[in-house]
Structure 1
Amino acid sequence: MTAYEVLVAPFAEFEFMRRALVGVLALSLGAGPVGAFLMLRRMSLTGDAMAHGILPGAAIGFLMSGLNLFAMTIGGLIAGLVVAVGAGVVARATQMKEDASLAAFYLISLALGVMIVSLRGSNLDLLHVLFGTVLGIDDATLLLIAGISTVTLATLAVIWRPLVLECVDPTFLASVSRAGGASHIAFLSLVVLNLVGGFHALGTLLAVGLMMLPAATARFFARDLTALVTLATLVAAASGVAGLLVSYHLGAPSGPAIILVAGCAYALAVLFGPVGGLIGRLVPRRHLEA
């Protein structure tokens, strides 16, 4: 097979592949930066919990209107925000730590969502909700994902400074500005938005994968924040394209293929990454070399 047949022909010949390509690239633009900040703020598991938290709302939307984009999107947004706010309220009003509170909400949400879909839908519907259908993206879903990515980039441009300061020194930010709380709420809203966009393509179980794996991979190659965000976005986009090609040529499910490609990139970064990779740590350094 020629390089054209392997890399270009699937997208040139099939419209559903082109739609999937545009969808994963749009997802990468929003998920890459958000994932990088989640990692820097040590909120990686928060993203995972919130990804499962959107399931009951999306399931209720499905129960009321079937596979209706608007109903499932609104339901997912409401459920995700309820989980984020509810876990925070429980953590602040009781002695329970926030990670334990999120774990409780995550387990309840996952079980409730699966139960709701199972009451009315078939096994195929359940698989669609849990794992998504990247190759079945339509025009409305593409517009939704592109809109979410646009809102994400615009909002990050506005809250960039307080968001960075809160990652580095939240105490200092609190002493000089009241923007920390507003930026935190705005950021959590962006997380929910991007998880809802990822839900339509990758399902609730895999939506967070395109957000966190590229960010974790980029951390082994970049120390600078701008470079980290840029590289995370590029890794997410490359994983999406490569995953679609693997799915096409091997006949594998597209969503898991994309996340597995991102996982392979992460494994290589752990081994060979110049910033803290295993191989680099085993190589002896000169005296006093950083």
Structure 2
Amino acid sequence: MIWEAIIEPFLQFGFMRRALLGCIAIAVGATPVGVFLMLRRMSLTGDAMAHAILPGAAVGFLISGLSLGAMTIGGLVAGIVVAIASGMVSRLTTLKEDASLAAFYLISLALGVLIVSTRGSNVDLVHVLFGTVLALDNAALILLCSIASLSVFIVSIIFRPLVLECADPQFLRSVSKLSAVTHFTFLALVVMNLVAGFHALGTLMAVGIMILPAAAGRFWTSSIGGLMVISAATAVLSSVSGLLLSYHYSLPSGPSIILVAGILYGLSVIFGPAGGLVVQNLPRRHYKQ
């Protein structure tokens, strides 16, 4: 029973194995970035950046169709341009960075949907917005695994400045010139992982595999290393479970993966030992001296 329900789909079908490998690559590369997004209170920034890559990917689609290379380059360029433009607006005007980023992301989302819907079909629009994780080919897997490896490598190099910036950004600025470099490198990592997630989960779902496992992991540990491990494990478990739900019940694969991650987040909120609702409301013993 367990063999037929859990293991056999991945052994029998190559598209299920490719989908699982792609999701694992995204989980390993994106969850450490998601952890630092959460610790820096930038979770909604990740959502905004996910929408910001849409017009670039749409232009790539317009030029070369569903070309992996064109859509990847377009998404990277669009994401980096939006990140830099929103930062410049916040520094040169009175508008805060969150407001400028929200403005750019809304414009990007509308422009991207307009481009795809004008020059493509409804199927193409669904592909761009929600991804096709079950249709990953070998070229896409090589791209996802390469981005995941590069992301883990860069995070390991800038790990200490990232931790310092989460704890006390003013201190990092006063003792090191790496503050700005760390910040923009981190934004580049966010864009890079969102572009990777875009190919499997689409622009609307890519940020989910980055943020939800990190938010769930926060209720199980307070150490950054442990948080990264638990977040990655949660993302992998969500991917396996979502793919199996999609296979057995003919559900959309991307939303299934994100919904499983959401369920795990909800369970963590309730039962997590590091600040979950149950622990917070347990009666506390009072000791007499």
TM class by shorter chain equals: over 0.9
Letter of the structure 2 residue corresponding to residue 214 of structure 1: P
Alignment of 1:54-203 (within 5 A): 54-203=53-202
Q: How far is 1:286 from its partner?
A: 2.7
Distance 1:6 1:232 in 2: 25
Alignment of 1:199-238 (within 5 A): 199-238=198-237
Letter of the structure 1 residue corresponding to residue 64 of structure 2: S
Letter of the structure 2 residue corresponding to residue 78 of structure 1: V
Q: How far is 1:287 from its partner?
A: 3.9
Sequence identity, in percent? Answer: 62
Distance 1:169 1:136 in 2: 43
Q: What residue in structure 2 maps to residue 27 of structure 1?
A: 26
Distance 2:276 2:282 in 1: 10
Q: How many residues align?
A: 287
- Name the SS of the counterpart of 1:286 in structure 2: coil
Distance 1:176 1:165 in 2: 11
Letter of the structure 1 residue corresponding to residue 73 of structure 2: I
**271-280 or 58-67, larger mean C-alpha shift:** 271-280
Letter of the structure 2 residue corresponding to residue 33 of structure 1: P
Q: Per-residue displacement from partner, 1:115-148 (whole Å, max 9, x unpaired)?
A: 0001110000000000000000001100000000
- Name the SS of the counterpart of 1:222 in structure 2: coil
Distance 2:108 2:128 in 1: 13
Distance 1:209 1:271 in 2: 20
Q: Per-residue displacement from partner, 1:223-267 (whole Å, max 9, x unpaired)?
A: 011001111111111111111011101110000000000000001
Cα-Cα RMSD: 0.8
- Name the SS of the counterpart of 2:284 in structure 1: coil
Q: Per-residue displacement from partner, 1:50-102 (whole Å, max 9, x unpaired)?
A: 00000000000000100000000000000000111111111111111111111
Distance 2:13 2:107 in 1: 40
Q: How far is 1:281 from its partner?
A: 1.1
Q: What residue in structure 2 maps to residue 274 of structure 1?
A: 273
Q: Does 1:256 align with 2:255?
A: yes
- Name the SS of the counterpart of 1:96 in structure 2: coil
Letter of the structure 2 residue corresponding to residue 45 of structure 1: L
Q: How far is 1:12 from its partner?
A: 0.5
TM-score by length of 1: 0.98
Q: How far is 1:279 from its partner?
A: 1.4
Distance 1:66 1:176 in 2: 48
Q: Which residues of structure 1 form unaligned runs of 5+?
A: none
